[in-house]
Amino acid sequence: MDVDVLLPLADAAKRLGVTTQYLRNLDRAGKLRASRTQGGHRRIPLSEVHRLMGEQELRLPLLYARVSSPSQKDDLERQKERLQRAFPGAELHTDIRSGLQFDRPGFLAVLKAVQERRVSRVVVAYEDRLARFGVDLLRQVFAAYGTTLEVLDPRPKETPESELANDLLAIITSFSARLYGLRSPKTQRLLAEARKVVKGPRTSSGPTARSWTPRTSSGRPSSVMRDAPATPTIGASSGRRRLTGSTNSPVLR
């Protein structure tokens, strides 16, 4: 009988589709029967491998980290280190894409693993790393497959202004493209003005109420709402759709 065959740790991990670190963790927790060679290397009985294969719930945590741009790679490394400290040896997926996009390769790999019921929980450092919007819906989807979402730090992440600005522009692009078409002059003018607002002058501590000043068509500062930027709203006048804010807001004609 082959049940007494002792397998090297790597072979046992390969048969089970898990990492060697995961098996080490099981051994330390007393959940795996293993022996040691004279050199101190673990050997796993084949019967233990068969036992684990037969268990209905051999599910592993899955780690996910994300940043929006290559310039944030240092932050990505910090997320990875934190996740791997909490769950050594767990599978990790990463993306360098906007959290507004749901076609991220790493994110799709996470969804696939959840759908295959291979995951006990999806772990992220911050909630918005999984997605900018729709996290509550994702929790429900995960729950349908017996998976939970674990957030190491429940506090909102201090997201760089550049990332938030890019997300805002992506939202404006999506909606204006549906209204006017992506290449429409109206869309291009709207995006140009939005970029001026979200990427305009900033103080050392970030945007303030005086960071942006409405100006007249002659370029002089307007006397209206000089202490705060106008909040753009969509209005209609004379049958035309326009962007209104302060008295000097650009009109889309």
Helix 161-180 × helix 185-198 angle, to 10°: 160
3-state secondary structure of 31: coil
HSE-up (13 A, CA, CB side) for residue 26: 22
Other C-beta atoms closer than 10 Å to the C-beta of 104 total 20
Which residues belong to the active site?
68
HSE-up (13 A, CA, CB side) for residue 180: 18
Within its chain, how far is the Cα of 58 from the centroid?
26
The two structure tokens encoding residue 202: 């900033």
The shares of helix, strand and coil residues in the chain, as percent rounded to the nearest 5, are: 40, 20, 40
| Placement of tokens 């996910």 in the chain | 64
**Contact indicator for 154, 184 with CB cutoff of 8 Å:** no
The two structure tokens encoding residue 242: 């326009």
Nearest to 195 by CA among 132, 131, 250, 129: 250
